[in-house]
Amino acid sequence: MDLRPVRIRRRLPALVDRLLGRTVAEPAVAPRRSNPDAVVDCAVYVNGWREPGRPHYADAYAHSRRDRKAFVWLGLHDPGPAVMAAVGRTFGLDELIVEQALAGGHRPTVQHDGGVTQLVLRTAGYVEHGELTHDSEVIDTGDVMVLLGDQFVITVRHGAAGALTPVRDDIQRRPAILAEGPWAVAYAVCSRMVDQYLEVAGHVEHDLERVEETVFARDRSVDIQHVYQLKRELVEFKRAVLPLQAPLRSLLDQRPGNPPRGLHRWFVDVDARLTRAVDRVAAYDDLLTSILQSRLAQLAVDQNNDMRKIAAWAAIAATQTGIAGIYGMNFATMPELGWRYGYFAALGLMALTALTLYRLFRRSGWL
């Protein structure tokens, strides 16, 4: 059967309208949704490769659910309650998880809640400064929460430190690892955070060397408040690094909800680097405590030296005052009152006494 006459009859009204100059209404097209400002990036990955475009997170998740080898990575930075609530509804997150994702300052941890794994890490960044003062900010910290499901991973970052754009760029160049699924993103985030810990530790080491040089220098220009400020910043850094050891090692166990076997050796490498960072931070903390105690001991010694100097000069002045006080009594029977050179003899005695005491104090180290 020839269908050409039917097709022509269907197109005939449109052809007539065009010939007569009539406007033809185009069929309505649904407007394309855009991601909110809190969304840093959103992409669908299939077999380790990123699909083109940056779709709305709801469309991306719907697309990933149609392919078992696909997952969506949604990156958020300081999202508001409305955005986080909408994300929670789209991905089926628990209300408590949504509330925790809105707040910052969490301790590093790993929690399994149903089909969602919640991984929290602290971020750290070194703040460049010309010289150390009593209010210098040396280390800037924040946190990042990684929410992992079967076919999605959501990263929620708080604070300026720990940007995840380099993490995405790096892992996208490693499709073999990215093909392992959402846990590949968790590995990349953990690896990036640990690398930043080691980088910050290197900068802190240079600050400690400068502080150590100034503390034990002859002029000793460093103030104890400066050392204490660096100690406070190092304690904040320590709170970010040390608590991550236990959660990260719990991921090395081969049990349901943990990373797949293909990523096990990569997490082992991250754990080894984290151990190096922990050792360095602990050593820096001990060294800074020793520097602080040394500075306090130096202050005590300086104060003791000052007190000895004051006591020596007070003893010298006391002898002069004693001699002048005796001769100032003006008794008629006092010796040498009638002597012509008695006044000069008293001044000579005072000078000789002061000089003798000065040499004795200098020899003993009090002056």
**157 Cβ contact partners less than 8 Å away, ≥ 6 residues apart:** 40, 75, 76, 77, 78, 123, 142, 143, 144, 145, 163, 164
Q: What is the DSSP pairing of strand 70-77 with strand 152-158?
A: parallel
Paired tokens of 184: 């590949």
At 348, which amino acid appears? Answer: G
pLDDT at position 73:
94
3-state secondary structure 191-246: HHHHHHHHHHHHHHHHHHHHHHHHHCCCCCCCCHHHHHHHHHHHHHHHHHHHHHHH
Cα-to-chain-centroid distance, residue 178: 27
User: What does each C-alpha distance from 91 to 48, 116, 144 come to in angstroms?
Assistant: 21, 10, 18
* Torsion 176-181-182-183 (CA) sign: negative
What is the three-class DSSP state of 39?
strand
CA atoms within 13 Å, Cβ hemisphere of 230: 30
| Interatomic CA distance for residues 196 and 274, integer angstroms | 10
| Interatomic CA distance for residues 171 and 189, integer angstroms | 9
| Interatomic CA distance for residues 203 and 14, integer angstroms | 72
Paired tokens of 74: 């949604």
| Interatomic CA distance for residues 65 and 118, integer angstroms | 20
| Interatomic CA distance for residues 72 and 57, integer angstroms | 8
pTM over 0.85: no
- How is the chain split among helix, strand and coil, in percent rounded to 5? 55, 15, 30
Q: Domains along the chain?
A: 39-300 (3.30.460.20), 303-364 (1.20.58)
Instruction: Pick the closest to residue 245 from 211, 279, 286, 287 (CA basis).
Output: 279
**280 Cβ contact partners less than 8 Å away, ≥ 6 residues apart:** 198, 201, 205
pLDDT at position 5:
41
pLDDT at position 27:
38
Per-residue pLDDT of the chain (367 residues; tens, 9 = 90+): 443 443 444 444 444 455 455 444 443 333 456 677 788 999 999 998 999 888 899 999 998 888 888 999 999 998 999 999 999 999 999 889 999 888 877 889 998 887 899 999 999 888 887 666 666 678 888 889 999 998 999 999 988 776 888 999 999 999 999 999 999 999 999 999 999 999 999 988 888 888 777 776 666 556 677 777 888 888 888 888 999 999 999 888 877 778 888 899 999 999 999 999 999 998 888 888 877 777 777 777 677 777 878 877 887 788 777 777 776 666 665 666 666 676 677 778 778 888 887 788 778 777 7
Instruction: Pick the closest to residue 268 from 176, 198, 167, 190 (CA basis).
Output: 190
